[in-house]
Structure 1
């Protein structure tokens, strides 16, 4: 069974929100040499990025590494490959790179990548290199579009990284405050509004095309109830009515009641940074 098939058989929400802590293994001193030789032996002209993005090519590369170092950690091997490529130390020139990611996949990749990067505070390279984080990223993408190709979505994430569209928002790195990030399909929220906490926070409506609308609230349950019953944001109300909520999901960032997010000015600063970086279609840019 391929890695993609295995991920598709697992409940996406379980993968995404029930992950163990990420532990970094020790890197053996001989690993750079082993990785260079394994890549030269197995890459078949593909670039280092293409080797990591494709399940079959990556497994072939890892098998070659483990033939020399049986206990080598997958994340260490993959990150070392990227590090050596950036340092210009790979001895084989890439002659095959594949096609660029389809523009239609880029919004899905951005949503999935930001979900994982915020939850685990990791960079894009680590998210793809670490097998546990990669499965979480794949699962996050499948929540947005169950039919998306996992290879395409990973490639899109790397493409976004290179264009610096996944640069972390400064306010999100500073404003931790024990926030809880939750994603639910809109129909599920509508049928059980008690899923939404009565806490201050920021909420994001999104679908396969990207982010739709971002807002803030002193009480997330009250505000989302208003939006789902008869939103005072007419463009959002029309969009929800037009789609009947199908394909839409709601992501909320909930903060403790005694956190700085209880102040409207703080929530609006957080909201404005999200609007600036994620460019939701129905918001007026702050």
Structure 2
């Protein structure tokens, strides 16, 4: 992949559920003309209320779904990412772990799916259990883990193969402030090493740590800019206030002009 090519490129994407079925052709659009890109070394935060389309967008980036129109490319490959998938790490909103086996067996199983084995596997397991602070609990059944411990193990699973692209859906839900800060410090270090990271969160101080924020309202992108730029351009002091200001402005623009205005900070998509 060329150094100037984004790790993730989303171009004019629209999505409706069931769009391939004969009974759902009139299903409402969940995503409406979304264009975004994430370069190696960037952390992009997807921000918006529940039901706005964030998780749908995450599913498109993961290749779980394909867009109704437009394109999604990850590491220059269009879904279902047969080659790129091995370089993507994913932490879903709900922990996808096997509870009837140990944490160590979980990590070993998911590592095998990515071809991580031998000395590399032993090294990664030691590194990751130390990182997520579960060294003393690696042989414990996941069924006996707390919710916060499961979140930390899920993050270890997402990182086991040292991915080039990392997608995290509400990664710090259930974690205490100390663990949240510790994990974010590590994510920033991964970005410095060149990992492209997409994260969804409802925690505003976490959003402020991201290089860019993509604010989504009712399936539309209403802002795509660094946090400081969003605050400056809306004349607000918090991201909550900025979102409300942009939401109100978008509602007015949409009523006056149904096709809606260009979102704050957004560049025209590139058509190659």
Q: TM-score, normalised by structure 1?
A: 0.26
Instruction: Give the structure, 1 or 2, with the largest relative contact order (CA under 8 Å, sep 6 or more).
Output: 2
Decide which structure has the larger Cα Rg and report it: 1
Higher strand share: 2
Higher helix share: 1
